[in-house]
Amino acid sequence: MINLNFIWFLIAIIFSSFIEARPVSYPGGLTLMLMNDTDKNSVHAHYSPTSHISLGYKFEYWRENQFTFNGIQMNNLIKRWNKPQSQANLYVKSAIGSAFSDKGKFENKNNISGFLGISTDWETQRYFIAYENRFTEAGKIDRFFMQSIHLGITPYIGNYGDLHTWIMIKATDTSGDNRGMDITPHFRFFKGIHLLEVGANLKGKAMLNYIYRY
């Protein structure tokens, strides 16, 4: 019997048309992402040998099931559409590593773990829209499918090096017990090689993301 999550995953891949911010950098680019959202804390450090691929280390701590993931993540830029006033991208993200949990019945349990998903985005200097999904497999510890849509608008258009301010909202839906839809309004501040996102979901849980790209 085919797993329902897997079917959702395939549907999402087929129908998704928009996505998330720059999982692949320019040739020789180093990126550090520190993400603290309402579900997890994560660190992702990657290197891009070309503008079509990035390889790096990924750490995640999922608070609900108190499980950590340590692994290698690879992101592939499948297609980019460069237009005079906009850019759109389609990426595949994948990771493999080890999951560990010390919660309840999973006391000190280790599992091979990984995830696979796609992300797509379209942005101009004024608007941003992104869609992302991923299926996560961590054996007996956890297994879930999540997808999110991310929208943004900036009240002014700055030039390179200016402080860019975005008003954004992110809606994330995660399968599984005690999970569901999470909506997080937030601000994005972008200047040069620094990107900071600050906000809180509708239940008051904080979100703080930082990206540094060199």
Q: Which residues bind another protein (CB under 8 A)?
A: 22, 24-29, 50-52, 77, 80-87, 123-125, 157-161, 164, 190-193, 195, 213
Query: Nearer Cβ to another protein, position 27 or 180?
Result: 27
CA angle at 152 for the pair 149 and 154, rounded to the nearest 5°: 175
Q: Which is nearer to another protein, 82 or 108 (CB)?
A: 82
Reading the block at residue 145, the tokens are 């499918």
CB of 111 to another protein, least distance (A): 35
Whole-angstrom distance between the N-terminal and C-terminal Cα of the chain? 46
Residue nearer to another protein on the CB measure, 164 or 186: 164
Token representation of residue 37: 């959202």
The distance from CA 36 to its chain's CA centroid, rounded to whole angstroms, is 11
**Shortest CB 132 distance to another protein, Å:** 17
The smaller minimum CB distance to another protein, of residues 25 and 174, is found at 25
The least distance separating another protein from the CB of residue 186, rounded to whole angstroms, comes to: 17
- If DSSP codes are grouped into helix, strand and coil, which group holds residue 164? strand
Q: How far is the CB of 148 from another protein (least distance, A)?
A: 20
Residue 169 has what DSSP assignment?
Answer: E
Closest approach of another protein to the CB of residue 27, in Å: 6
Assign 6 to helix, strand or coil: helix
Closer Cβ to another protein, 77 or 207, answer by number:
77
Nearest to 20 by CA among 210, 190, 150, 201: 150
Which residues on adjacent β-strands are paired with residue 140? Answer: none
